[in-house]
Amino acid sequence: MEYRQLGKTDLKVSLICLGTMTYGEQNTEAEAFEQLDYALDRGVNFIDCAEMYPVPPRPETFGRTEAYIGNWLAARGNRDKVVLATKVTGRGAANSGVAHIRSGPRLDRAQILKACDDSLARLQTDYIDLYQLHWPERQANFFGRLGYRHSDDDGIAIAETLDALDELVKAGKVRHIGLSNETPWGMHRYLRLAAHGNKPRIASIQNPYSLLNRTFEVGCAEMAIREQCGLLAYSPLGFGVLSGKYLGGEKPQGARLTLYERFQRYTGERAQAATAAYVELAREFDLEPAQMALAFVNRQPFVTANIIGATTMDQLRSNIASADIALDDDQLAAIESVHAGNPNPAP
């Protein structure tokens, strides 16, 4: 397993990060334990979760993913062997699906402090290695929106949010902070406030990145490299679409897009066409389609870690093994050719 530096911190994290948003919904606690044990044994030291997990978020399951991980840490006594990341939920309207979280989550001081304490309790730990803002307080172009439409309603000021995170760092409850679903402007604003106010510096940004969505390259990639604030790439398989298992209208039993029709981000006509081309390409090169897709993400210079998720052990084994695959120049050129013909079909 390759390890990369997390921002400007002294932490080294595995190239493959274990995503856990299925724990408590599609995966039982026993299955979560099996996944966590296997990943750690294969050199994965980086675990990512969030207070709102599992997904889709529901009041009945809120916090269950963190609770499973906390139980595993307590049972194994291995807190010192993992880099643990979680997230505080961003601003949510009544119809956002997260209104049950603190009667409507906001990134103000009181809510951030409470959210962190609650996560610490569920995780059964005294500190969080990387505490991330799940999405911005302000309205911006994230979660599939490419075009920016300005709103004067910025909500809680970034300065207040950063002050609250600073308080957690000084209290020893959080070691480092990060962003998620952010824009280049958002990255710049947090970095600037940190530099001029002696506040904690963001160590990472967790945004979507895959063969179907390379929009991170447009503005954020340069920021990530120059500012040493690397990408934690989520949905590197586009909710499993890039494995090819949904092609031809297939609906595999128990698969996420079979169970939850609300997730349509990676299933549009253009995305299906691009996926078919990538799957065909992988088979021409005698590669598993999912492993080729993950290997592409792994090699990017702006990526710190690739967040994989799996509901079965076979998927987990295959996804982790992608760390050992190096795409050659011919394979990369072929991938670029497909991308040029159908760029970012699922932003």
Catalytic residue positions, numbered: 53
Determine which helix (DSSP H) or strand (DSSP E) holds 14, and give its type and residue range: strand 12-14
Residue 184 CA to residue 119 CA, distance in Å, equals 28
Question: What residue type is 30 in one-letter code?
Answer: A
Beta strands at 16-19 and 12-14: parallel, antiparallel or unpaired: unpaired
Report the alpha-carbon distance of residue 337 to residue 312 in Å, rounded. Answer: 32
Separation between Cα atoms, residue 302 and residue 34, nearest integer Å:
31
Show the 3-state SS of 40-81: HHCCCCEEECCCCCCCCCCCCCCCHHHHHHHHHHHHHCCHHH
| Closest to 307 measured CA to CA, from 22, 10, 107 | 22
141: which 2 tokens?
Answer: 């172009």
Please give the Cα distance from 335 to 295 (Å, whole number).
12
* Rg of the chain taking only CA atoms, in angstroms: 19
Can you tell me the distance from the alpha carbon of 65 to that of 178, in angstroms, rounded to the nearest whole number?
20
d(CA 238, CA 252): 16
Angle (CA) 31-321-28 rounded to 5° is 10
Tracing tokens 């290997």 back to the chain, one arrives at: 295
Residues 20 and 52 sit within 8 Å (Cβ to Cβ) = no
How far from chain centre, in Å, is Cα 220?
15
